[in-house]
């Protein structure tokens, strides 16, 4: 038996790299499942695995080492299963855009809450700023202020053209780390990756002129080495971000709501209707943004309805 790290998921098999640099295509047994979690992919990019290579050239993953973290989303509309985007990451880069296409704040907040739940730091990257007019630029600055005031690192960039000054900070932030990069389809994720790792030359696609949404160019997750050290895990673009079951702890994953909740009259306050709720009072005073509070309520609705509600 040998050990390695999963660097690519092709759907039917997993590419595993070993300490000596060899790459082995492995499959999993039909009954291979992790206890306590229902996922469409029991093995994820970033997993450290044990595998057995056979004389006929086949290889099978037999065990997964405990993950230090992972980031996960509901697999699809109404699905009870989850999909693990990546495991054992140092941080996530969430790429969004405010034009062609417009990323909803609900999508952003669902991603951030999930990352909080699974101990994954996030850097928010607002791309395509070259497309914004003066009014839209003010909106971008307002979005930056909103999330930076909560404690998130926020960058405004344009990944196209000669904007090397925008790429340098991202290279510095990712150097020596394993970073997941994710976002809606069409936000320029592949273009950004091509700027960070020019040798990849990933395929990019135009945003649909009819629906103003992006088209998928990445099919499966894959880990790529960064020129300056570290790794970048590219993931397929997603249209929505279904949250997994947070139970009664949803407020714990909204930093400002959790900080404010200690002042609520009742210790088990859900921040929806109870008298003496400090969170709702803070929303009324605009100390907590209405968009963040609405995102919090939407995740509560997921829990109450037991299904994934589309975030658009």
- Of these ranges, 196-205, 227-236, 252-261, the one predicted with the greatest mean pLDDT is 252-261
Q: Are 10 and 43 in contact (CB under 8 A)?
A: no
- Of these ranges, 162-166, 182-186, 205-209, the one predicted with the greatest mean pLDDT is 182-186
**Are 50 and 187 within one domain?**
no
**Are 31 and 105 within one domain?**
no
Least confident interval from 14-23, 119-128, 183-192, 237-246 = 237-246
Looking up tokens 């945003």, which residue turns up? 207
If pLDDT is split at 50, 70 and 90, which confidence band does 161 have? low
Q: How far apart are CA 200 and CA 182, in angstroms?
A: 17
pLDDT of 127 over the 70 cut: yes
* CA-to-CA separations, 132 to 93, 152, 171, 234, 240, in angstroms, rounded: 21, 22, 24, 26, 23
Q: Are 23 and 201 in contact (CB under 8 A)?
A: no
Average pLDDT over residues 11-40: 80
Three-state DSSP class for residue 295: helix
Q: Among 209, 234, 259, where does a domain finish?
A: 234
Would you say residue 240 lies in a domain? no
Three-state DSSP class for residue 94: strand
pLDDT of 312 over the 70 cut: no
If pLDDT is split at 50, 70 and 90, which confidence band does 203 have? low
Angle value at C-alpha 202, between 51 and 24, nearest 5 degrees: 15
Would you say residue 296 lies in a domain? yes
What DSSP string runs through 196-250?
HSTTT-----PPPTTT--------S-EEEE-TTSSEEEE---BS--B----TT-G
Q: Among 234, 261, 289, where does a domain finish?
A: 234
Burial class of residue 116 in the structure, from the number of CB atoms within 10 Å of its CB (0-12 exposed, 13-18 middle, 19+ buried): middle
pLDDT of 84 over the 80 cut: yes
In the structure encoding, which two tokens stand for residue 297, read together? Answer: 């309520």
Would you say residue 25 lies in a domain? yes
Instruction: Look at the chain and report how many structural domains it folds into.
Output: 3
* CA-to-CA separations, 289 to 99, 139, 283, in angstroms, rounded: 21, 14, 6
Q: Are 13 and 25 in contact (CB under 8 A)?
A: yes
Average pLDDT over residues 267-276: 95
Annotate 185-197 with b (16+ C-beta within 10 A) or e (fewer).
bbbbbbbbbbbbb
If pLDDT is split at 50, 70 and 90, which confidence band does 105 have? very high
Average pLDDT over residues 287-302: 94
Residue 168 confidence (pLDDT)? 87
H helices, E strands: number in the chain? 7, 13
* CA-to-CA separations, 82 to 7, 238, 278, in angstroms, rounded: 20, 14, 33
Average pLDDT over residues 38-59: 88
Residue 205 confidence (pLDDT)? 53
**Are 95 and 223 within one domain?**
yes
**Residue 78 or residue 270, greater confidence:** 270
**Are 229 and 107 within one domain?**
yes
Least confident interval from 27-31, 71-75, 215-219 = 215-219
Average pLDDT over residues 90-95: 96
If pLDDT is split at 50, 70 and 90, which confidence band does 249 have? confident
pLDDT of 187 over the 80 cut: yes
Average pLDDT over residues 245-271: 91
Average pLDDT over residues 150-174: 86
Residues in Cβ contact with 194 at an 8 Å cutoff, skipping those fewer than 6 apart: 200, 201, 202, 204
Residue 223 confidence (pLDDT)? 96
Q: Are 127 and 208 in contact (CB under 8 A)?
A: no
Average pLDDT over residues 220-229: 91
Q: How far apart are CA 198 and CA 201, in angstroms?
A: 6
Angle value at C-alpha 11, between 20 and 187, nearest 5 degrees: 95
In the structure encoding, which two tokens stand for residue 205, read together? Answer: 């696609």
**Are 218 and 81 within one domain?**
yes
If pLDDT is split at 50, 70 and 90, which confidence band does 301 have? confident
**Are 91 and 230 within one domain?**
yes
If pLDDT is split at 50, 70 and 90, which confidence band does 209 have? very low
Q: Are 75 and 83 in contact (CB under 8 A)?
A: yes
Average pLDDT over residues 14-28: 92
pLDDT of 21 over the 60 cut: yes
**Are 230 and 273 within one domain?**
no
Domain limits at 295?
250-305
**Are 176 and 279 within one domain?**
no
Residue 214 confidence (pLDDT)? 39
**Are 229 and 256 within one domain?**
no
**CB neighbourhood size of 30 (10 A):** 6
Residue 243 confidence (pLDDT)? 67
Residue 75 confidence (pLDDT)? 58
Average pLDDT over residues 191-214: 68
């Amino acid at each position: 038996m040998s050990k390695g790290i999963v660097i690519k998921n092709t759907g039917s098999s997993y590419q595993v790299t070993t300490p000596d640099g060899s790459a082995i295509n492995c499959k999993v047994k039909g009954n291979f499942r992790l206890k306590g979690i229902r996922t469409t992919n029991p093995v994820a990019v970033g997993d450290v695995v044990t595998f057995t290579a056979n004389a006929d050239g086949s290889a099978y993953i037999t065990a997964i080492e405990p993950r230090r973290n992972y980031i996960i989303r509901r697999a699809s509309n109404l699905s009870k299963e989850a999909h693990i985007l990546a495991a054992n990451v140092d941080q996530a880069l969430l790429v969004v855009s405010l034009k062609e296409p417009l990323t909803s704040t609900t999508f952003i907040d669902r991603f951030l809450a999930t990352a909080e739940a699974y101990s994954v730091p996030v850097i928010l990257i607002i791309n395509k700023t070259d497309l914004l007019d003066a009014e839209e630029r003010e909106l971008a600055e307002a979005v930056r202020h909103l999330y930076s005031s909560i404690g998130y690192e926020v960058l405004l960039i344009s990944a196209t053209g000669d904007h090397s000054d925008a790429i340098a900070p991202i290279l510095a932030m990712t150097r020596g780390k394993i970073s997941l990069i994710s976002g809606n389809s069409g936000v320029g994720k592949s273009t950004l990756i091509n700027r960070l790792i020019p040798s990849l030359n990933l395929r990019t696609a135009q945003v649909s002129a009819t629906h103003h949404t992006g088209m998928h160019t990445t099919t499966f997750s894959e880990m790529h080495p960064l020129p300056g050290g570290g790794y970048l895990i590219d993931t397929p673009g997603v249209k929505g971000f279904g949250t997994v079951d947070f139970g009664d702890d949803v407020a714990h994953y909204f930093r400002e709501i959790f900080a404010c909740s200690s002042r609520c009259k009742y210790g088990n306050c859900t921040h929806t209707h109870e008298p003496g709720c400090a969170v709702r009072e803070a929303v009324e005073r605009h100390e907590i943004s209405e968009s963040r509070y609405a995102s919090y309520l939407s995740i509560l609705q997921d829990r109450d309805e037991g299904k994934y509600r589309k975030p658009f």
